[in-house]
Chain A
């Protein structure tokens, strides 16, 4: 097959952009603030206007539902029965945005939730940025969607003012009606029939929003997932459920050592297998994020192609393949961990003087955490229908990509196949079976396009579990050496971190760098942060709460070590480090606020009964970690027996993400993050030798099951700050909370993960 290779000037690949975006969104440094301002700059002006201007004639979708409804703005339509249709424009990957975001619109509109139909939005520029990641769906869209709801509400109010011949300011919208101060009211259904589409679209600058005390939808626990009925009945919702006419099933086999090149395969034998219609080699471009070499197998069922895949005999050329070895990485990192790194990330005051002062107590510890995998339960898949153009007409491709940023498929098609946007039709999928940062890369989309193009038939490409586990973009393993000094009063006075991180293709892997704003480095007079990186070939990428998911373990465990060394209570010691209430980074209201931090720390401690006496072999562990603009503290209550069998009884979580949008969904994200954090720390570890990932399926990569699930007790501080997202930030504190609780239970300090490597079991 031919590849479009003249795109070297497209410096940023899709994945890089996504990663940069995620980093920007998840971090709280100056760079991200500029990005944020840029986005709100647009959202506050032109974008909103474009979105509130009805565009019925150009709207492409033509179902009956749509024909019989009136568009009030990009996100809202009303039917003659008064039912409101709200578009869900963002992929629901399990984080609940398909329910939570329409709730924001509905609240401002004044419609009863029962009168709302949530529709899947097509992929279209008019919806703005249709992507999710970095726990940003709520903070990015809250204001925009309020405006959509308020704008539509004002059109109803205008229609009612005309019909009742009363001033607008005597009217308000509630329960799907516009109500006059006299008590007289008209339903949305009645108003929809009175030419509501002729009402002027209000200027976004004039819109007023409800006060929190008036909310009837936002913050509700009673509103449950919009697709729940379809889910419990097994209806088709996922990318992997898609079926299109003439579709064949495809599998793709890549070199077990990433970037090995395909030389030949027993294609003739494969083609003779039952149910196999075609098999061929695919030439990639050497970029794991776009398209790697492999062997494609096409057939009449997924089973036929999976089965044939097992019988493949492929000759690979390993010259360009990854040679990574986890054993070597550990040896290399350990050899250098007592030195400082060659890259200085931060230097304030003089740590060496403080460490040299004999009056101070100096403590040093090495921490280590492994590569881990995303293991989304829905395997990577994509359906593609590539059509060759005839008579000078361009080729086209229609795609169904389960992805965090479906519109990235345009860029993938351009970068790999040289296709223009007009040649590509992207269809949204109704739900995505988990993502956790995995589905930000486009390689499974390219693979589906390449296979459909070469085979000349529409295909549904499905990865096997083994493909998903071995060809992931892993959370990079890391090694951090922390050193700190306590003065004679037991106060933390100096902090040093040497971070041994990973680069892939000379770019830092997601989360594998030391951030200069890492807690508590901004809070101290003597700080040194240094970094060493080594380059590897294993693809790495963002995984739920990138950076924070590992650094929380290191930093918050070490703070506990320091509290113990100082002979002080961990809670009191942590609150002292927080200090006076203020934004951790001056003038950055997306940064850690030490007052909000102290409040959640105190709340979690109080609710968990911090300080109570527990039986021998049990312990409480506390941790706080700030990420994704969220302040989260957790206390774990554990038992550990003499054989290091661990039972996590209960995790108490205190969270401040501002007002909660969907209470049930918010709690779900926290419950899921606690389970995910525990699952990862207990037994998960990806290793590779000679570039080849050694784990292939769940029997070699243990996941947490229902018996080991703790009770999870959740408390919110619904502060007045703007609402922020919860898909990630409840995960990071879990890991150190459990590690600290283990210490409290048995005196064993866990500095290397996973726990099973240290002899623990659950």
Chain B
């Protein structure tokens, strides 16, 4: 069995695995990182969404061996230590999850969206999140939580720069 190394949530992981094995199953069955979920296996549900170099991808549909040298982020790496991102906090505050099974994937898609569009419109949210199915129908709150996280991020940024306001104008 070939060995290779993957950089996951900032840590290099040595693996001995079939090169064809999708990242999803490397994470879940070999590394015990089970936050990334299996829903369909064919790229249709988004439960397995992770980031590769910051881009959202479906871990069920990419062989792990193709990701050597890339930066992989999973739901377990979204928060730094116990500091939740604004998005995770909004998810808790607005009580988004029902069963919760899809939510790792939802959060990863939403996090990538906010990276590229810090203040997304409803259309941006529709476009970025349409690949993530929620069987329980938490979409109303997902939308609210993304807006809330975007607002709190902007607010944080604004606060931090407030003391420089005079210089700016």
Contacts and interface: CB of A to CB of B under 8 A. Distances in A.
A and B assemble together: yes
Interface of A: 92-96, 224-225, 227-229, 231-238, 240-241, 243, 249, 274-275, 300-304, 306, 375-379, 431-434, 436, 462, 464-465, 664-665, 668-669, 671-676, 679, 697-699, 703-707, 709, 711-712
A305 B36 CA distance: 19
Contact of B100 (A237, A707, A712): A237
11 contacts: A225-B97, A228-B92, A231-B104, A235-B35, A237-B100, A303-B21, A431-B101, A668-B141, A672-B136, A706-B125, A706-B126
B140 A464 contact: no
B44 A697 contact: yes
Interface of B: 1, 18, 21-22, 24-25, 28-30, 32-42, 44-45, 47, 74-76, 78-79, 84, 88, 91-104, 107, 125-126, 129-143
A705 B132 CA distance: 7
A698 B91 CA distance: 26
Contact of A379 (B38, B130, B143): B38
A93 B21 contact: no
Given A233-B88, A301-B29, A375-B135, 17 more contacts: A231-B100, A232-B75, A232-B79, A232-B107, A233-B79, A233-B84, A234-B74, A234-B104, A243-B32, A300-B29, A379-B38, A433-B101, A675-B137, A697-B41, A697-B44, A705-B131, A706-B142
Q: Which 3 residue pairs of A and B lie closest in terms of their CB atoms, listed nearest first? A: A234-B35, A675-B137, A94-B99
Contacts of A304: 18, 21
Given A96-B98, A664-B95, A674 B45 contact: no
Contacts of A464: 41
Nearest to A699: B44
Nearest to B90: A232
Contacts of A225: 95, 97, 100
A251 B132 CA distance: 25
Contacts of A679: 137
Contacts of A377: 37, 39, 45, 47, 99, 101-102, 133-136
A393 B45 CA distance: 47
A280 to B, nearest CB: 21
B18 A274 contact: yes
A237 B97 CA distance: 13
Contacts of A233: 35, 75-76, 78-79, 84, 88
A378 B132 contact: no
B155 to A, nearest CB: 20
A431 B99 contact: yes
Given A232-B88, A377-B45, A227 B100 contact: yes
B42 A432 contact: no
Contacts of A706: 125-126, 129-130, 132, 139, 142-143
Contacts of B141: 668, 671
A664 B97 CA distance: 11
Contacts of B1: 274
A278 B115 CA distance: 46
A492 B1 CA distance: 75
Given A238-B101, A698-B44, A709 B29 contact: no
Contact of A665 (B30, B47, B84, B95): B95
Contact of B137 (A241, A300, A674): A674
Contacts of A433: 37, 99-101
Contacts of B84: 232-233
B146 to A, nearest CB: 10
B101 A378 contact: yes
Contacts of B32: 243
